[in-house]
Amino acid sequence: MIQSMTGFGKSEKQTEYGTLIVDLRSVNNRYCDLAIKLPEFLETHSEEIKRLLTEKLVRGRITLSVSLNGASEEITRLKLNLPAIRRFYDSLTELSVELGIDEKIKIEHLLMMTDLFDIHSPNIEAESVIAQLKETLESAIAELNEMRLREGNFLQKEMELHLVTIGEKVSEIENLFVSCKNGYFEKMKKNLNELCADLNFDTDRVLQEAALAAKRIDITEECERLRSHLNQFKKYMEDDEPSGKKMTFLLQEMNREASTIGSKSEESRIAHLVVIVKDEIEKIREQAQNIL
């Protein structure tokens, strides 16, 4: 079953320091491109988290945001910096006397201090939090992968419809070529006879040249390879391993075979069918870009 690279997962866990919130998102990318935002006290564990994401999600533009919200009152409490306030007050009083200013010192003067409050922030044990973060992250990854599977199932159904259309058009191309094959040969033989009417050419040589010319416009092998690619693509869709890159390469080969059929054929109806086939291949290619 194929997976999309698009997904979202979110998980929360209550810790002694507050609520640990993990927000995980993924969109398509050729490689595994990670963007991670961690609380400052967890920054030293960023490489460890990156390895975990790379192992579990494989490919995509992956964005992880981790926050610690709703912490206990002890963590968020503001405390007046009384020693600094007293020093600031004494300095203002001394300055007033020195400059002969009679104005009394008011509370608004003290509010001009930049260090009026201390933010009490006790030490957080990163090792304790990182263990809980990994557990929470695993839950978010599981949710994201479930979404990837749902999106992949939708993409697979869409691509299967396009593959059916391509298979039908290839069959039509093959049938048209078979019905026109004798006509190609007779037409070439006639043209060669007309060109060589005044020359003393061996009839067998004329037939041989006509046969060679007819072979050069034979599209049987291209149709067989295109059909083989279709069957291989269907196998990729059932593969448990990530196959998006292999699908993209195979689509390039399918497009190449279709182009060769179009360039070799002299039948306008076949040329029209080739246009439809290439259009269907392009629609699949657009969807395959989002496959893991």
Residue 267 tokens read as 């039948």
What distance in Å separates the CA atoms of residue 146 and residue 139, rounded to the nearest whole number? 11
Q: What is the pLDDT of residue 85?
A: 80
Q: What is the pLDDT of residue 58?
A: 92
What Rg do the C-alpha atoms of the chain give, in angstroms?
A: 36
In the β-sheet with 18-27, what is the strand arrangement from edge to edge?
A: 7-15, 18-27, 60-69, 32-37
Distances (CA, A) of 249 to 6, 102, 214, 236: 21, 85, 31, 12
What distance in Å separates the CA atoms of residue 134 and residue 129, rounded to the nearest whole number? 9
Dump the DSSP string for 110-158.
HTT-TTSEEE--PPP-HHHHHHHHHHHHHHHHHHHHHHHHHHHHHHHHH
Q: Mean pLDDT by 10-residue block, N- to C-terminus, for the chain (292 residues)?
A: 93 89 94 91 90 93 89 54 80 80 78 66 74 94 96 95 96 89 66 61 60 72 95 92 92 95 87 96 95 92
Q: What is the pLDDT of residue 75?
A: 47
Q: What is the pLDDT of residue 35?
A: 95
* Contact in structure between 213 and 188 (CB atoms under 8 Å): yes
For tokens 């992968």, the residue is 145
What distance in Å separates the CA atoms of residue 239 and residue 123, rounded to the nearest whole number? 48
Q: What is the pLDDT of residue 17?
A: 82
Q: What is the pLDDT of residue 40?
A: 81
Q: What is the pLDDT of residue 101?
A: 80
Q: What is the pLDDT of residue 117?
A: 66
The closest of 66, 56, 68 to 142, measured between CA atoms, is: 56
Q: What is the pLDDT of residue 73?
A: 45
